[in-house]
Chains A and B, each alone.
Chain A
Amino acid sequence: MSIPSYPSGTVRALLDTSHVSEATRAAVQARLGAPTAYTPQFLAPESYALLEAVAARIFPQPDRPEQPVPLAPAVDQRLAEGRADGWRYDALPPDREAYRLGLGGIQEIAQALFQADFTVLTTDQQDAVIQALAAGNPPGATWQTLDADRFFEELLAELTETYYAHPLAQEEIGYVGMADLPAWTKIGLNEKEDREPNLSS
């Protein structure tokens, strides 16, 4: 099956309608209107730049060269505020420690594979570093004590949930669940309300 794609502009248009509740509109618009410039609150500038570079490969956005969906700010903000999501793998140290160690470990993989910092590698090389991490047994002293599988899973899950919480990422997959007023009445197979998007092609 070909990969479905949906028209852009759907979510912004729906936000102006009565299909969206006030609470929902506030949540969605806060994310749409988040300032593009961000000064890290928790991570050191070089660690933050590394996190941004890693996020840019885990979620490549060649379709949004000017304004990619921001991912690193959510991680940095969460770590700065000490927020948790209710649980953590016992195998991993506390989140701040895990990110600090894990980002250092990614540099170690980059050095071991390409003798250079992650941020100066080509995108193919960066992908190779991430692949080594994802495969679960990467080179580097960090990974002797930090569980690579679990760290990658946590990093990937946090970036993924941040990405798909963004209204433009939701629009990309044809989701307009935020426009649920007054109700969904067409909920069966091949049924859709007029306000739900058609495939682009």
Chain B
Amino acid sequence: MPDEEVLEEGVLNPVKPEIQDPLLRALLADEPAPAPAAADTPKEQPQAVEPEAAEVDCVVVGLGAGGAPLLARLARAGLKVVALEAGPWHNPEKDFATDEKAQDFLFWNDERLAAGHDPLAMGKNNSGTGVGGSTLHYTAYTPRPLPDDLHIRRDFGQGEDWPVSYEELEPYYEEVEQFIGISGPTPYPWGPARRKGYPLAPLPLNSAAQLMVRGAEKLGIRTSPAANAALSARYYQEGLGWREACTNRGFCQAGCSNGAKSSMDVTFIPLAVQHGADIRPNSFVTEIERDARGYVTGVVYTQNGKQKRQRCRHLFLCGGSVETPRLLLLNELALTSGQVGRNLMAHPGLQVWGTFAEEVRPHKGIPGGLISQDTHRPKDADFIGGYLLQSIGVMPVTFAGQVARGRKYWGQQLRDYMRNYNHIAGINILGDCLPHADNYLELADEKDARGLPKPRLHFTAQENEQRMNAHAEKTMRGIWEAAGATDIWAFQRYAHVIGTARMGRSGDDAVVDANGRAFDVPNLYISDNSTFPSALSVNPALTIMALSLRTADKFLEGQQRRDG
């Protein structure tokens, strides 16, 4: 609870700080403290669902980085909004264990089929469920893209350009960074100068980050503490209250138990609840209903075993780049461009691991402590685009699984190698990816536990990704050798599924326009990573949130025009 000490130590959210915290305001004004608002404890509220629900203005499907920001925006504008989230609403402080296996419930565990020469691992690698979506277990690495990420075709003649410019997105990046409390360096060493710095100082560097600094310095590669969506100091969150600083648990990828990580459930969702959003967890949407004109009229969903219907004037699909196209394909909706399920991209996420004489204890601290974007457009590149470099911490079960898959060690050799765990550190890349005709999502004949066709994801790294990986492996091995590592090995992986319902300027070759509105269906919007026309050379979460706010604003502008 806020008190005088908080006034010194906490950092106020810069967005309208003077009116946010009722307790703090009371303290400052020397008024009696108000009773805590019900919105402070949204998880305790039972969710009543009327059997014959009346029509609402908007239904939002999916409460991850794509759905939560716009939900809050639409609710704040006074619209009647209902959010349907397939997964449960957790109480992290009570329910989240510091134990990887016990946290498996955070992942979308319905089976997806991984095809192609480089099959994409899903589950804990690429999915999420629950109120907060995959932000419940994202690493919280939140660099902005650099402006030229958005026009790779203009620069290289391949890939796709975004119908939205960096300049248009910039205010939204700034708003998200300030609102959710990103910790990062000011000024930021790469990209254009910014109007505002990060609201919080960077998180402390862990061992892997220190080692990367050491290796990169010897090679003349610039590094910086990274931007992370986890709090380096207490922060006031509108709709929720004070969020505590990160305790360096290092378990971001298995769920944050103290609210320090800026997942949607401790940021945009409490704001949405404060403004009256109706959040329905455990609600899995199966059907999208339409009228004779082709407009969406509502959705059918299953909640706790019961089938329900919610009518709406506008529908926002925010289920991510697997469930969103699956819903469109299942419902034969917005398919005229032929692009639903196509253009599937995944970030090259090659990791390089090494053993150090020093003690590393790699599970402690924010996992992605350090960044370099010197490799954004490498001078000696024989490929299009570029990548960022990142130091990585790792939890033991995740690491062991990667050793098994990557090195194929077994028996005594595996046990012996794993005893080096406390001396192991890694770096990885996050690289751009080009769309390719061979990479797509389709519905398989095989059914999942819900009786729905399983999604099948085809992914094969093409020449450009392979060349980028080769360049990156050489760079990272060099850094690790310079830092003093032995027994260096590389683990090939791809992270984030992107692009399966892309945005563009025309319905001939895109599913939605720059505002996220479907070309085929005027009251259908998509807000998640499926709309990305290109993969970007940075982690997607920040851009998903920024686009989500922009989509909400564009939608609201359109509504105002219609009203006026």
Contact = CB atoms under 8 A, between A and B. Distances in A.
B504 to A, nearest CB: 29
A183 interface: yes
Interface string A33-47: 000000000000000
Contact of A86 (B102, B127, B456): B127
Q: How large is the interface on A (under 10, 10 to 19, 20 to 34, 35 or more residues)?
A: 35 or more
B139 to A, nearest CB: 16
B114 A90 contact: yes
A49 interface: no
Interface stretch (A56-64, A98-106, A111-119): A56-64
Contacts of A161: 101, 397, 400-401, 404
Q: How large is the interface on B (under 10, 10 to 19, 20 to 34, 35 or more residues)?
A: 35 or more
Contacts of A182: 247
A91 B118 CA distance: 12
B416 A3 contact: yes
Contact of A90 (B364, B405, B456): B456
Interface in B413-446: 414-416, 418-423, 446
Given A84-B109, A183-B247, A184-B247, A153 B97 contact: no
Contacts of A188: 204-207, 210
B217 interface: no
A58 B409 CA distance: 9
B211 interface: yes
Given A175-B421, A178-B98, A187-B207, A88 B248 contact: no
A175 B99 contact: no
A10 to B, nearest CB: 13
A178 B363 CA distance: 10
A156 B408 contact: yes
B401 A190 contact: no
Interface in B246-272: 247-251, 257
Contacts of A163: 400
Interface in A185-199: 185-192, 196
Interface in A71-116: 82-91, 94
B461 to A, nearest CB: 16
A170 interface: yes
A134 B410 contact: yes
Nearest to A5: B419
Interface string B451-471: 000001000000000000000
B122 interface: yes
Residue of A177, A182, A189, A191 with most chain B CB atoms under a 10 A cut-off: A189
For the residues of B in contact with A, the DSSP-based class is loop
Interface stretch (B5-13, B284-292, B353-361): B353-361
B477 interface: no
A172 B121 contact: no
B96 interface: yes
B481 interface: no
A86 B108 contact: yes
B449 interface: yes
Interface string B95-123: 11111111010011111111100011111
A90 B412 CA distance: 31
Contacts of B404: 153, 156-157, 159-161
A87 B112 contact: yes
B222 to A, nearest CB: 21
B250 A90 contact: no
Interface string A111-135: 0000000000000000100100010
A145 B127 CA distance: 30
Contacts of A5: 419
B94 interface: yes
A50 interface: no
A184 B400 contact: no
B119 A89 contact: yes
Contacts of B207: 187-189, 191
B365 interface: yes
A187 B367 CA distance: 11
Contacts of B157: none
A20 B249 CA distance: 12
B123 A87 contact: yes
A90 B423 CA distance: 36
B361 to A, nearest CB: 6
A43 to B, nearest CB: 20
B248 A192 contact: no
Given A165-B397, A189-B207, A87 B98 contact: no
A1 interface: yes
Nearest to B422: A174
A38 to B, nearest CB: 17
Given A4-B422, A87-B114, A187-B204, A160 B412 contact: no
What are the 7 closest A-B residue pairs judged by CB atoms, nearest first? A86-B123, A87-B122, A183-B247, A27-B102, A90-B115, A164-B400, A187-B365
16 contacts: A1-B420, A3-B420, A20-B98, A22-B94, A23-B95, A23-B102, A27-B97, A58-B411, A60-B415, A86-B123, A88-B114, A130-B410, A134-B408, A153-B404, A174-B421, A184-B364
Given A177-B364, A192-B359, 6 more contacts: A23-B95, A86-B107, A134-B408, A174-B361, A174-B422, A187-B364
